[in-house]
């Protein structure tokens, strides 16, 4: 499901247009979110040094009713988590502990568990390929659904065991193309890059992120985690919901992810499904938990070209499209000898680029998991960023998911146009 949003938003980025004023007011945003059944959302606009706009909308819990709080409400940020992997890797690159183009087996130090493409063993798997989703790793969506576990159960298996289970030459989890020649979004590839961070730094990935990325930025690491047990009190964790206008939705959910024990809510909330808190086996790729304000501090680091934790050249590398735009997105429907190629991928290192219908380009990352939908974007001038975190669900392939995605993009683009134009006196 995490992959679906990348494909879904690729369509929306190229189709949505903005109507009306460039500066949305609170009432317009509230009505837009309510129309597509978004329970709650936080929205922030930042530059390199300040928060320019922040608002909370709706609720982090429908039962009991509890409003979203910009600072206190803790979201699992889903695939936005991947950008932290690139930050960790680039810190190790700066220390000359790893190289982006060296075979990762040199860092994993597992002589009995070497990772390579079984059909192309001479094409090494490197950090650059993993972070740009061009390592030819591909896991079926049915297997991806099994990564979701109730409570903290996913952490009963180590990150290393998870990676070596699914990414090894004895499996069929590979594309029929050499690594480095096509792009295909991969949670496992990102998790494998995080495992390299673990092995080289000699600390768990989650501890590394807290100690080497968040703490130096002045972030209270007691309010950040991946496990539910990382938080003394789960009352501030945003709850996951899915809008379900009929009974077929609950049936579909329980067929696809039965282990989450999803339930229909009672009484006048019966059109909503409640999704209990869960864990995710490839956790570095999708399960960092933090508030929107905490995430905004991290985004301002990126806008300020690394702040105190990265050098500007590392930020530049993360922004640079790997392969110069010549690596196509893998298309399983194209014949091997066909000239009908999918559009070029625009992955940097974890971050990726998208071009709007009006030609404007943005870099950032989306996040999708059951009951959560997020988007974090930076403009091409690299001086403005917008974050929307929400507990909306867009995992179902239906019109509502499309409308939720369009609403998020509309809000993003309206805010960018507003703040690009100067003082946002029209915001309220």
427 assigned to some structural domain? no
Structural domain including 380 reads 2-420
- Give the per-residue pLDDT at 6: 43
Residue 224 forms part of a structural domain: yes
Residue 426 domain-assigned (yes or no): no
CATH number, domain with residue 349: 3.40.710.10
**Residue 425 located in a structural domain:** no
Which pLDDT value is given to residue 336? 52
Counted domains in the chain: 1
Residue 145 in any domain: the answer is: yes
**Residue 335: predicted pLDDT:** 52
Residue located via tokens 């938003």: 9
| ∠ CA 154-237-79, rounded to 5° | 55
What does the alpha-carbon distance between residue 199 and residue 89 come to, in Å, rounded to a whole number?
12
Rounded Cα–Cα distance for residues 190 and 176 (Å): 20
**Residue-level pLDDT at 24:** 84
Instruction: Evaluate whether residue 195 is within a structural domain.
Output: yes
**Phi first, then psi: what are they for 137, rounded to 5°?**
-90, 135
Q: Are 246 and 273 in contact (CB under 8 A)?
A: no
Q: What is the pLDDT along the chain (428 residues), one digit of tens a residue?
A: 444 444 444 444 443 333 445 688 899 999 999 999 999 999 999 999 999 999 999 999 999 999 999 999 999 999 999 999 999 999 999 999 999 999 999 999 888 899 999 999 999 999 999 999 999 999 988 899 999 999 999 999 999 999 999 999 999 999 999 999 999 999 999 999 999 999 999 999 999 999 999 999 999 999 999 999 999 989 999 999 999 988 899 999 999 999 999 999 999 999 999 999 999 999 999 999 999 999 999 999 999 999 999 999 999 999 999 999 899 999 887 655 444 456 788 999 999 998 887 788 999 999 999 999 999 999 999 999 999 999 999 988 788 889 999 999 999 999 999 998 665 444 65
- The number of beta carbons lying within 10 Å of the beta carbon of residue 357 is 12
What pLDDT, on a 0 to 100 scale, did the predictor assign at position 140? 86
What's the confidence (pLDDT) of residue 30?
Answer: 95
Bridge partners, 62 (sequence order)? 65
Contacts of residues 199-202 at CB distance under 8 Å and 24 or more positions apart, as own/partner, are: 199/107, 199/108, 199/109, 200/92, 200/97, 200/98, 200/107, 201/88, 201/92, 201/97
Instruction: Quote the pLDDT of residue 23.
Output: 81
Q: Is residue 74 part of a domain?
A: yes
In a domain, 242, yes or no: yes
Give the whole-angstrom CA distance, residue 36 versus residue 27: 15
Cis bond before residue 64 (omega within 30° of 0): yes
pLDDT value of residue 428: 52
Residue 395 has what pLDDT?
A: 87
């Amino acid at each position: 499901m995490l992959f679906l949003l990348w494909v879904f938003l690729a369509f929306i980025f190229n189709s949505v247009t903005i109507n009306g004023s460039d500066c949305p007011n609170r009432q317009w945003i509230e009505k837009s979110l309510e129309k597509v059944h978004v329970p709650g959302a936080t929205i922030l606009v930042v530059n390199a040094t300040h928060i320019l706009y922040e608002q909370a909308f709706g609720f982090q819990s429908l039962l009991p009713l509890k409003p979203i709080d910009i600072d206190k409400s803790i979201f699992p940020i889903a695939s936005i988590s991947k950008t932290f992997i690139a930050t960790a890797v680039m810190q190790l690159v700066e220390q000359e502990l790893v190289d982006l183009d060296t075979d990762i087996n040199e860092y994993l130090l597992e002589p009995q568990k070497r990772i390579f493409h079984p059909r192309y063993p001479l094409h090494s798997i490197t950090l650059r390929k993993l972070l740009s989703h061009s390592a030819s790793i591909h896991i079926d969506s049915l297997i991806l659904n099994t990564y979701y576990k109730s409570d903290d159960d996913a952490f009963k298996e180590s990150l290393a065991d998870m990676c070596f289970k699914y990414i090894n030459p004895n499996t069929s989890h590979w594309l029929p193309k050499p690594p480095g020649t096509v792009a295909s979004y991969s949670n496992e590839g990102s998790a494998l890059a995080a495992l390299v961070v673990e092995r080289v730094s000699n600390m768990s990935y989650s501890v590394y992120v807290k100690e080497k990325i968040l703490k130096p930025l002045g972030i209270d690491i007691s309010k950040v985690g991946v496990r539910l047990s990382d938080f003394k009190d789960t009352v501030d964790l945003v709850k996951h919901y899915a809008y379900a206008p009929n009974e077929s939705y609950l049936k579909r959910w329980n067929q696809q992810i039965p282990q989450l024990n999803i339930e229909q809510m009672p009484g006048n909330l019966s059109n909503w499904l409640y999704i209990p808190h869960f864990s995710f086996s490839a956790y570095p790729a999708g399960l960092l938990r933090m508030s929107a304000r905490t995430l905004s501090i991290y985004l301002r680091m990126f806008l300020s070209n690394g702040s105190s934790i990265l050098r500007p050249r590392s930020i530049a590398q993360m922004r640079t499209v790997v392969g110069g735009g010549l690596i196509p997105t893998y298309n399983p429907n194209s014949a091997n000898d066909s000239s009908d190629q999918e559009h070029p991928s625009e992955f940097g290192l974890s971050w990726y680029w998208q071009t709007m219908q009006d030609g404007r380009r943005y870099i950032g990352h989306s996040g999708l998991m059951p009951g959560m939908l997020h988007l974090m974007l930076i403009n091409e001038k690299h001086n403005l960023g917008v974050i929307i975190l929400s507990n909306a669900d867009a995992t179902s392939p239906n019109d509502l998911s499309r409308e939720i995605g369009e609403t998020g993009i509309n809000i993003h683009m309206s805010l960018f146009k507003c703040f690009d134009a100067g003082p946002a006196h029209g915001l309220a």
